Every structure is written in C-alpha cells, then in structure tokens.
Chain A
Amino acid sequence: MNALRRHRKLEAIWSSEPGWKGWTSSVNHSDLGRMFLFTAFFFFFVGGVLAMLIRAQLATPDSAFVDAGAFSQFFTMHGTIMMFLFAIPAFEGLAIYLLPKMLGTRDLAFPRLTAYGYWCYAFGGSMLLVAMLFGIAPDGGWFMYPPLTGPLHSPGINTDFWLIGITFVEISAICAAVEFTVSILKYRAPGMSLDKMPIFAWYALVTSLMILTGFPPLILGSVLLEVERAFGLPFFQADLGGDSLLWQHLFWLFGHPEVYIIFLPAAGIISTVIPVMARTTLLGYGWIVASAVALAFLSFGLWVHHMFTTGIPHMGLAFFSAASTLVAVPTGVQVFAWIGTLWKGRPELHMPMLHILGFFVTFVIGGLTGVMVAVVPFDWQAHDTAFITAHLHYVLFGGFVFPMLAGIYYWLPLLSGRKRLFRLGELAFALIFVGFHGTFMAMHWVGLMGQRRRIETYDADTGWGVINFISSVSSFVMAIGLAMVLVDIIIHAFVAMRGRRNPWQAGTLEWASMSPPPSYNFASLPEIRNRDPFAGDPDLPNRLAKGEGYLGEPKAGRRETLMVDIATGRPEAVVVYPGNTRLPILMAAVTGAFFLSILLKLFWITPLALAGVAALALVWVWQLGSRTDQGAQDAGRGVTLPLASETDRSPGWWGSTFLLVANATFFGSLLFGYAFLWTVAPGWPPAEWLDPSWAELGLGIGAALVGSIALRVGTRRNRNGTSPQLALVPALLATVVTVIVFALLLFRLPPPDGHAYAATLFILGAYGLAHALLVGLMQGFLILQVRRGFTSARRQSGFSVVGLWSDYLCAITVLSLLAAHLPGMAL
C-alpha cells in the first residue's frame, strides 16, 4: 500500500462527518481541541469586554456609568469567566489538540469523554452567559463568600447560577484531567519512556493530577452552599452550628492550587518554546520535572494565605506564610533553567519569543509581589485592596496569557499549515505589554494608597482619580492590542500562504505529522529513541507515511492505537476506539437538564434526568462490548499484542482509578468539613445526636465487605473459566443491603435543617447511598453482560472496573458509618 492510499483509507476511518453535523458527532481530539480553544477565546473576549466596562466605571471619581448592582455582576462574571471559562478550558483545548501528536499516538484515551467534557463546558458556560444577558448573573465576587452569598443575604437566583453553572463546567475539567492522566501514562509512542516524554506532557500530567485533587473541594463547597440555599441545611450559618469559614477553606483548597493549575501548563509551553527559539535543548529537564512536582504539592499547602485576616492563630498563619515563601524556590528553579537554556543557545527573536519575554518581566514582578503578600503583616495591610488585584493579574496574565499567546504563535503554522503574512503581531505585543503594565502597575500604587477592590466608585478627594484614569486608558490600549492579535490570527487562517512543515525546526513529534495534521495524526506510530525524535531525523515523517512504524496497516474500519508500559514505553496492547457518535452531546444535554432542574427548582425533572444519564451511561458502555474473543492482534513490525479490552488493566480500569482519586478527594473534603465544624464552629455540640445502632453499623460494614469480597471471587471464577454468577449475585445482594443501611441512616437522622451536624451527616449518607446505588447498577449491568455472553476468561475488563468501584464503596461505607454512629456511642 502506498502512502497516498494509506492516507485515504485512514482518513475514511478517522475523519468526522462533513459540515456542521461533524461538530455534534465528532470525537476526534483535533476537532474537539479546536472547538475548546475557540470557545475558550470567545469567553476570553466576553471577560475582556467586562473588564473594559469595569475600567470605564473606575476611570473617574463619582462615576455614574453603571450602578452598584450591575458593577457587582461585572466584576463577578469577569473573574468567573476568566478563571473557569477561559484559563482552564484554554489549557484543556491546547492539551487536547497537542498531546496525542506530541506523544506520537492517534487520539486521547477516551475520545467520547473528550466530547462529553466539551459539551458540558459549552452548556454550563452558556448558562452563565444567559444569566448575564437577563441581568441575573452572579454578583457575590468570583469566590462567592457566604454569608453574603447565603440564602439570607442573596435570596435571588444569581448565586445559584454560579454554583450550578460552575459545577457543571467542572465536570468538563475532571473529564479532561482523567483523560490526560491516562493518555500521558498509557498512550504514548512505543519506546517513549518517562525520561523521553516531551516536557509539555510532564507539565500536563502534573496539572491533571492537580485538577483531580484540587477541584473536588470546590465542587463539595458548591454542593453544600446550593443545598443550604435550596433546602436550608445550615453548613455556613453560625447560629445553627455552621461556619462561613468552612467555605473559605473549601474554596481556597481549590483556589490556590488553581493558580498553579493555570501556571503549570503555561510553564509547559515556555519549556517547549524556549529551547526551539534558542536552537538548543532544554537545560535541566530532570530538575524542571522535579520542580513542577514540588510546585504542585506545595501549592496545596498555601490555601490559608488567602485567609490571613480571618483571625486564625499565629502559628497557623506562620505555617502558611512559610509555605508561601518556599513555593518561590521551585518556581525560581524553572525560571533559572529557562534563562540558562537561553544562555547556552543562540536565541532568535521570533514572534513567540516576544511573548515569552513579556512573560519573564511580568511573571517575575507578580512572583515578587506574591512573596510580599506571603508575609503576614504586609498582607494585613494590603488585603482586599487594589494591590491584590494587581498582584493576581501580574501572576495570571503574566503566567498564563503571555505564554498562551506565545504558544498560539508557535503552533499556529501546525494548526493552519500556513506561514504568517503581515507583521501585525509585533505591534499587538507592544500594545499589550505597555497597556498591561500601565493598567496594573498603577493599580499596585492606588492599592497601597488604600483603594479597596470591588468598589464601584470613589470620592474625588481620595486622590485616586489620576491613577485610575491612567489605569483605565492603559487597559484600553491593552484591549486594542488583544483585538489586533485576533485580527492577525484571522488573517493568518484565511489569507496567508501555505507554509512548509516544521518551520521552527523543532524536535518534538507534533511537527512530524502533516501541517495541518490529518484526523489520524500518524499513518503509523513511531519508535522513540530520544527526547527530540524529529531532530536529526528529517526522514521520519516519510517513513511513518509509508507505514514503516506500528499499526501501519488500516484494518476493517477500526480506529487503532497502542497502550504502553508506563515507565519504559514498551507496547502492551492494541486499543480500538469507538467511532463518531452523538451520544456525548446527548448525555451532556441530559446532564444539563439535571442541573437546570435544580436551578429552576423543577425537582420533578431531577430524578428523570438522573435516570436518563444512567441509561445513556449504560448504552455508552454496552457499545464497547464484544461477544467473541479477538485474541492476539498484529501491531506491525512483527509485534503481536492483545486487545486492551482483553486485559485486566483496560483503559476503563485506568480511567476509573483516576476518577476515584478525585472522588476520594471529594469524600476526604467532606470528612474534613465534618471535623472542622466539630472542632471550630460555634454552636456545638448539637442538641440532638443520631441514635447510634450497633446493628446498622455491623450490617452496613459487613455488607460492604461481603460485596467487595464476592466481586473478587467472581473475578477469579471468571478468570478460571467457571461461572461468575454464583459470586456476582451475592455481591449485588450485599450492595442492596448497603443501600438499605444508608437509607435507614438518612431516615433516622435528626432534622438536617436544624443543625450543621445533622446536615453534614445527611450529605455523608446521601453520598454513600448514591454510591451504593451506582455500584448496584454496575454489578447488575455486569451480571447482564455475563448472561448475554459479553464476558469470558479473556474479556474480563468489566470485572476489574466494577471490582474497583465495589472496593471504593466498601471503604466509604466503613468510614461513613463509623463517622455517623461512633460519636453517638461515645458521647
């Protein structure tokens, strides 16, 4: 088969439907990456317009441009859009588009999940936009502190839009994080061991693990606040045993890692672009990996530095002050590694490099003011002033927007296959750089003079007028610069001439595919021997096009790629992907119906929507099944491998493992909230405890253990070729008992709207009940699969996935029931 024929066959297998229909049914990572990026930059535009309105209002004293209510919606939506609807999705879009190409594979691990994540993001973001158009947008600030956002002080629907819309959008982030983690660890080109991974993949891996452990506390906080608002369960009301500080802990447990979740992908772009621009290799690859890991962990020990003024004891403040200063060290290691890379190379000042230089100046200033506010006495003075607003913009614009713009200009020739025509970008950069520093340097100054953040106006005699005017004019200069970038990209996409492959002479694999890349990325998968496989091997694309790599022979309409060993990159299995489908958009729509039913208080729709999601999930899994063993598969180059679905560590097992990491973090945050309220909140102990029951405790723990053990026995029987039904049915019965025990717990609790104790146990019980029902559904589904012949000793992946969830149910049942019953026994 010649290269052209192979290309046509692969395109027929991998391409999306033509026209707009393709948008709704595509599961291809290149399509979805572009859709993510386009949507994220649309939201960046909306957030930017809001920023201009804010600056127009503050340009002069005693301004009557907008009233206080509208201004509150503007700054809340500006922060919310930029953090949740631009920064994270822009990283997701870039990584979705680039990672498979950089890793030398054909798609991400779960293509339908990519599409589902996109549609959750698009629908959730649209909810917030609709709220803004109707003038009922969230208005409590992007971090939504209760009691301001509680039912007493914000009775309207504005806050609910934030809590429900953002939770909906966060599904997308969790989906992407699971996707990236599994893809980076298991879906690489053969031979790409961990030390040969592109540095961007390391950063994306660390960021994904951070999303999995950073987002669940906020999801929990949003659930608790929404439940308090909708049903009156008092988690944050001090008179009923709640504490508004719990929200701050949960929010900033997410919020501070979020800063690094935004910065680390940008650092990945910088680490990728700088060596290419400097015509050398990255200095200190290992040190940079270690620094990124250290930064990720340290970022989880900083959250209280946002709460220095809340009256926390001095020693507590000192812990977080120390951690906040320490985090500058791994950041500094990376900055020095980049400077060292420039030093040892021969830097060329191309367009991406301008934005990298903009990053250096801006981010270093933001980092230094960060160290200033890490020092408690200074923070007490600067807290809640415009100085903090300026600091965070230096970090986030400097640490994300400049690197993203560098990345866009760097990868634009890959995306479009064209070369730049006009030199509009250079002028745009100058305007952005000057405008940014004019805006926010002035804001530092006026903050130190005492201007609080989020005020809608100020008196003329404060002396802040001239500085604010400079800041506002500069912000419009920056906006003109950003608009020029947009014009530059549109011109590039539609007018510029065709360019050559790999214009930067980069060594990473994405440049070895065609420009723009075909739907399948690589006609055959390369064997990797060093960190820059394309450098010094210009013939690589031709060999891959000729099918000389792995999986070079297209087979029977199957979308195939390889799974590899995590450490060595040794090929382990052949993966067969599902094709184009509208199931993800349908499932996202039904998920949206669930969230809308809660938002609009149409609670009769809620169970119907949940049933719809469950039914679609079963269809989702059912479509992957097979009634016959496929056996060993020819992977090319004389290698035969099993199908991934016929191994006990299938893609589904890996996905479930990392999803459970996020789930366990959610559960751990709930236990933390319980312990926090118990020890810190006023109004404890409660007037009434749950009447403890040894029988319920024993029955619940016993059933959870039996369920887990029986599932293991079933798995072993299936592997040995004997019928697993004898073990699966008892496992299902044990899960039914677990459901009953959790239902009893909810039924026997003191009224959950009377005290935070009962409210917390209610959520704990509901969480356990939901998981018991979910595991019961999975076990029932597995029994059905066994009966219909979808399993065999070889096709065992369903057992390992359901086993994992059964073990998780066992663990949370034991912990939840102990947390619920033991206090009543001891007191």
Chain B
Amino acid sequence: MKNLLRILFPLLVWLASFSAIYALHGLGCALGWSNVALPGMSLFRWLLLVSWLIALLAQGAMLMALRSRRFRSHDTFIHRTSLATSCAGLISTLWTLLPVAVSGPCG
C-alpha cells in the first residue's frame, strides 16, 4: 500500500493545496480581505502568495523525500513513477495557482 501511496500522494497534496487556496480565495472575498491594505499589496494578496509559496515548498519537499534513501521505494518502477507524479504535482502547483500573483482577486 505504501508503494501505491508514493505514486498517489504528490498529486493528492496538489489537490489539497489547490482546494485550500480556492477556499481561502472564496473566504477572503466574502470577508473583504482585499480591502485591508498592507505594505506593497493587500492583506489578501499577501495571504494568497504565502499560501502558494507554502504549497510549492510542500511539493518540493515531497520531490526531495521521494528521491531520498529514507523514503524512496526500492522498486525501480515505483520509484520512477512516483518521481514522475511528484514532478507533475510541482508543475501543477506552479501553473494552476499562478493566478494568485497575476489576477485581480475579487473582481
């Protein structure tokens, strides 16, 4: 079961972070966080960017862990496939959450 989870887990983390940031976005718009100004940008933008960074770091950590001796699978097929899904998770996090940096939050 652990081997299967090694393949599934990186994208599960993407799905969790994607859903969480979408929920945060809904909550922030409902509570008017975009109107709270902080240096450089609104509180809401800060929150979204920090959340995105955390999601990217989590994906990066996952990739490193699956490459490490401690957590890697001894099965070559599982090892390679888990690295592929881990890279997919990292790219997905980078691309699908990019709008937090470039799009207007509640317009």
Q: Chain A residues in contact with chain B, CB under 8 A?
A: 185, 193-195, 286-287, 289-290, 293-294, 296-298, 300-301, 313-316, 318-319, 322-323, 326, 330, 566-567, 675-676, 679-680
Residue on B nearest A649 in the bound complex, by CB: B1
Residue on B nearest A568 in the bound complex, by CB: B75
B75 and A319 within 8 A (CB): no
Residues on the A chain within 8 Å of B72, using CB: none
Contact of A297 among B11, B77, B97 (CB under 8 A): B11
Bound together, the chains give a CA A297 to CA B7 distance in angstroms of 12
Bound together, the chains give a CA A707 to CA B100 distance in angstroms of 45
Bound together, the chains give a CA A301 to CA B18 distance in angstroms of 7
Contact of A290 among B23, B84, B97, B107 (CB under 8 A): B84
B8 and A293 within 8 A (CB): yes
Residues on the A chain within 8 Å of B92, using CB: 294, 297-298, 301, 323, 326
Residues on the A chain within 8 Å of B1, using CB: 185, 566
Q: Does B105 touch A at the CB level, under 8 Å? A: yes
Q: Does B103 touch A at the CB level, under 8 Å? A: yes
Task: Tell whether A318 pairs with B77 under 8 Å between CB atoms, given A287-B84, A297-B14, A566-B1.
Answer: no
Q: Does B38 touch A at the CB level, under 8 Å? A: no
B75 and A193 within 8 A (CB): yes
Bound together, the chains give a CA A287 to CA B87 distance in angstroms of 12
Minimum distance in angstroms from B98 CB to a CB of chain A: 6
A286 and B11 within 8 A (CB): no
Residue on B nearest A676 in the bound complex, by CB: B26
Residues on the B chain within 8 Å of A675, using CB: 23
Q: Does B88 touch A at the CB level, under 8 Å? A: yes
Bound together, the chains give a CA A688 to CA B47 distance in angstroms of 33
Minimum distance in angstroms from B40 CB to a CB of chain A: 18
The binding surface of chain A is classed by DSSP as helix
Q: Does B27 touch A at the CB level, under 8 Å? A: yes
Count B interface residues, CB 8 Å.
Answer: 43
B85 and A294 within 8 A (CB): yes
Residues 10 to 69 of chain B near chain A (Cβ within 8 Å): 11-12, 14-15, 18-19, 21-23, 25-27, 29-30
Residue on B nearest A324 in the bound complex, by CB: B96
Residues on the B chain within 8 Å of A318, using CB: 99, 102-103
Residues on the A chain within 8 Å of B106, using CB: 313, 315
Contact of B107 among A293, A313, A326 (CB under 8 A): A313
B96 and A319 within 8 A (CB): yes
* Interface CB pairs A-B, < 8 A, 26: A194-B3, A195-B75, A289-B7, A290-B88, A293-B85, A296-B11, A297-B11, A297-B92, A300-B15, A315-B100, A315-B103, A315-B107, A316-B22, A316-B26, A318-B99, A318-B103, A319-B96, A319-B97, A322-B98, A322-B99, A323-B96, A566-B1, A566-B4, A567-B2, A679-B30, A680-B26
A326 and B96 within 8 A (CB): yes
Minimum distance in angstroms from A15 CB to a CB of chain B: 35
A567 and B78 within 8 A (CB): yes
Bound together, the chains give a CA A402 to CA B7 distance in angstroms of 30
Residues on the B chain within 8 Å of A319, using CB: 18, 21-22, 25, 96-97, 99
Bound together, the chains give a CA A298 to CA B27 distance in angstroms of 23
Residues on the A chain within 8 Å of B88, using CB: 290, 294, 330
Bound together, the chains give a CA A290 to CA B88 distance in angstroms of 9
Residues on the A chain within 8 Å of B78, using CB: 194-195, 567
How many residue-residue contacts, CB under 8 A, span A and B? 107
A286 and B81 within 8 A (CB): yes
A195 and B96 within 8 A (CB): no
Minimum distance in angstroms from B74 CB to a CB of chain A: 9
Bound together, the chains give a CA A792 to CA B98 distance in angstroms of 57
Q: Chain B residues in contact with chain A, CB under 8 A?
A: 1-4, 7-8, 11-12, 14-15, 18-19, 21-23, 25-27, 29-30, 75-78, 80-81, 84-85, 88, 91-92, 95-100, 102-107
Task: Tell whether A286 pairs with B100 under 8 Å between CB atoms, given A297-B14, A298-B92, A319-B18.
Answer: no
B85 and A194 within 8 A (CB): no
Contact of A680 among B11, B21, B30, B103 (CB under 8 A): B30
Residues on the B chain within 8 Å of A330, using CB: 88
Other than the known A194-B75, A286-B80, A289-B81, what 20 A-B pairs have Cβ atoms closer than 8 Å? Answer: A193-B75, A193-B77, A195-B76, A287-B84, A289-B7, A290-B84, A290-B88, A293-B7, A301-B15, A301-B19, A313-B104, A315-B107, A319-B18, A319-B22, A319-B99, A322-B98, A326-B91, A566-B3, A679-B30, A680-B26
Minimum distance in angstroms from B30 CB to a CB of chain A: 4
Task: Tell whether A567 pairs with B103 under 8 Å between CB atoms, given A194-B75, A319-B18.
Answer: no
Bound together, the chains give a CA A300 to CA B8 distance in angstroms of 14
Residue on A nearest B3 in the bound complex, by CB: A567
A290 and B25 within 8 A (CB): no
Contact of B25 among A286, A296, A315 (CB under 8 A): A315
Residues on the A chain within 8 Å of B22, using CB: 316, 319
Bound together, the chains give a CA A316 to CA B97 distance in angstroms of 10
Residues on the A chain within 8 Å of B100, using CB: 315
A194 and B77 within 8 A (CB): yes
Residues on the A chain within 8 Å of B95, using CB: 322, 326
Which 3 pairs, one residue from A and one from B, show the smallest C-beta to C-beta distance?
A318-B99, A195-B77, A297-B11
Minimum distance in angstroms from B5 CB to a CB of chain A: 10
Bound together, the chains give a CA A326 to CA B99 distance in angstroms of 14
Bound together, the chains give a CA A193 to CA B88 distance in angstroms of 24
Bound together, the chains give a CA A675 to CA B20 distance in angstroms of 12
Residues on the B chain within 8 Å of A289, using CB: 7, 81
Bound together, the chains give a CA A680 to CA B106 distance in angstroms of 13
Residues on the B chain within 8 Å of A326, using CB: 91-92, 95-96
Residue on B nearest A193 in the bound complex, by CB: B75
Residue on A nearest B99 in the bound complex, by CB: A318
Bound together, the chains give a CA A290 to CA B12 distance in angstroms of 13
Minimum distance in angstroms from B28 CB to a CB of chain A: 10
Bound together, the chains give a CA A289 to CA B80 distance in angstroms of 11
Bound together, the chains give a CA A324 to CA B21 distance in angstroms of 17
Bound together, the chains give a CA A194 to CA B5 distance in angstroms of 13
A290 and B7 within 8 A (CB): yes
Residues on the B chain within 8 Å of A680, using CB: 26, 30
Bound together, the chains give a CA A316 to CA B100 distance in angstroms of 9
Bound together, the chains give a CA A568 to CA B2 distance in angstroms of 12
Bound together, the chains give a CA A318 to CA B92 distance in angstroms of 14
Residues on the A chain within 8 Å of B75, using CB: 193-195, 567
Bound together, the chains give a CA A297 to CA B19 distance in angstroms of 12
A313 and B105 within 8 A (CB): yes
Residues on the B chain within 8 Å of A194, using CB: 3-4, 75, 77-78
Bound together, the chains give a CA A316 to CA B1 distance in angstroms of 35
Residue on B nearest A294 in the bound complex, by CB: B88
Contact of A314 among B76, B85, B107 (CB under 8 A): B107
Residues on the B chain within 8 Å of A296, using CB: 11
Residues on the A chain within 8 Å of B19, using CB: 301
Minimum distance in angstroms from A689 CB to a CB of chain B: 19
Bound together, the chains give a CA A298 to CA B78 distance in angstroms of 20
Bound together, the chains give a CA A77 to CA B103 distance in angstroms of 40
B103 and A314 within 8 A (CB): yes
Residue on A nearest B88 in the bound complex, by CB: A294
Bound together, the chains give a CA A185 to CA B8 distance in angstroms of 14
A286 and B107 within 8 A (CB): no
Bound together, the chains give a CA A313 to CA B25 distance in angstroms of 9
